[in-house]
Amino acid sequence: MTSPTGRLWGVGLGPGDPELITVKAARLIESAGVIAFHSARHGRSIARSIAKHYMHAGQIEEPLMYPITTETTDHPGGYLGALEDFYEECAARLAAHLDAGRDVVVLAEGDPFFYGSYMHLHKRLAHRYPTQVVPGVTSVSAASAELGRPLVEREETLTVLPGTLDADKLTEKLKATDSAAIMKLGRTFTKVRTALQEAGRLDEAWYVERATTDKQRIEPLAEVDPSTVPYFSVALLSSRAAAVTPTAAEKPVEGEVVVVGLGPAGREWLTPEAQDALATATDLVGYGPYIDRVPPNPRQRRHLSDNRVEAERAAFALDLARNGARVAVVSSGDPGVFAMASAVLEVAEEYTDVPVRILPGLTAANAVASRVGAPLGHDYCVLSLSDRLKPWDVISSRLSAAAKADLVLAIYNPASKTRTWQVEAARDLLLEHRSAETPVVIGRDVGYPTESIEIVRLADLDPSKVDMRCLLLIGSSQTRLTESGQVFTPRRYPEPS
């Protein structure tokens, strides 16, 4: 029976701040049987000092101490030959633990595969043992964050260069790139500085030393004394686009009004475009219950109003935008269907300097229709029974015309606390032109937990069951109710006989 084999982990520790270790890295360090780390000949290890917060007594420690600290050696293979022997020896030491079934965590500053010593062990062991690498925050990312300057934007390119490159090659690459990070400074600093100067980039360059630690230093690179530069430092050329972009305080604020359709209910009915408009708005304006459907955001101002002051609400929103606000006027369903879009555009004729956009939403007619099948599968008419903004004579004549034309009807605002007789009047008008068997769909609160759908005959439509939270779909002569309870209107209309 073969003994279990241990797993090798290359664990990135990030740039130095122990709080920048990932949750996974911390868990692996705490649970590892063996902790390996590199150090110089003095025995101190930066990697171990970062990870010590997660280590505990009883763990086996394997210090991997470099035999040389400069490129001066009497090894017959020179500096590279000495390092090759060192890595072979280290790999053999870790293999003994892995063969004994112990998991080994090799600590790596920054990211294990980003100019890290771990990769030399990985190449020697990964094909022999189960191995996984846990990435870490690189010194380049940390330096950029501490500097507070983006590395790249849009189509810019970032070039990562070792300071050990030939001076002419360094200069050539610095001329050709947008942004750059130059690693391995220390004794190469003077050469790097010269290359930056010859590339015409010295004034853009920043120096970051031991980023995120208590020994961090940040200076314009041109002002740094070469004799003070350690190996653990980075030269950065940040994004040129970022350097010329005005700050938020310098940018002129451009106000606008976006009329946003929320759909019939919750977030799942909201389009991504509408979500973005709500997220980027500085002010939300609308009828109180509709505003309440948008999650509160403390950086936004919320302006709630009654449902009967549409023109005043529109003017208020346009005034806010004229003064630089990004205003989202919220509307249930689709803002262009018996909602705020027309009210805003009507008032906006006096605000020609304010841009207005309309973002569609899923309207209640389509939401209710989807619950029963496809009753709107052919031509249909959308009509409101509210006589608050138009007289009943207009409504009744349109109902009769739609009924004579044999159109499916989607009826909005069928009833309210003060409008209690219109549903009965509409039913009686339609029965003059429609069969008593015509399917009628009563959809209430579609999308909410209180949703209900009922299908009745036109002759059995009970006005007492209909209120403002309902939408009615009234079929044409061709609309069918199937045995399974689905309603649909065929797309093909019969030829005249």
DSSP-assigned beta bridge partners for residue 329: 259, 285
Q: Show the domains of the chain with their CATH numbers.
A: 8-136 (3.40.1010.10), 140-244 (3.30.950.10), 256-362 (3.40.1010.10), 365-488 (3.30.950.10)
Q: Are 285 and 383 in contact (CB under 8 A)?
A: no
**pLDDT per position as a tens digit, 228-254:** 999 889 999 998 775 544 444 445 557
Residue where the block lists tokens 């990004």 = 326
Question: What is the model's pTM?
Answer: 0.57
**DSSP-derived 3-state class of residue 490:** coil
Q: Any idea which residue has 């032109």 for tokens?
A: 433
pLDDT number for residue 246:
45
| Crossing angle of helices 422-431 and 392-404, rounded to 10° | 30
- β-strand partners of 471: 443
Q: Which 3 state secondary structure label does DSSP give 465?
A: helix
349 vs 455: CA distance, rounded Å = 43
Amino acid making up residue 345: L
**Strands lying side by side in the sheet with 217-220:** 158-162, 179-183, 233-237, 205-209, 217-220
Q: Are the CB atoms for 260 and 362 separated by under 8 Å?
A: no
> What confidence score (pLDDT) does residue 245 get?
45
Q: What's the rounded Cα separation, in Å, for the pair 55 and 28?
A: 10
Give burial (CB, 10 Å; 0-12/13-18/19+) of 73: middle
pLDDT under 50 in the chain at which residues? 1, 244-250
User: φ, ψ for residue 260 (rounded to 5)?
Assistant: -110, 125
Give CA angle at 474 (471, 476), nearest 5°: 155
d(CA 124, CA 83): 13
**Structure tokens, 497:** 């006989």
How many other C-beta atoms lie within 10 A of the C-beta of residue 237?
Answer: 25
Cα gap 361→270, rounded to integer Å? 7
- For residue 367, CA distances in Å to 5, 122, 259, 402, 445 come to 58, 57, 20, 22, 10
pLDDT digits (tens, 9 = 90+) for 284-295: 999 999 999 998
- The residue type at 458: L
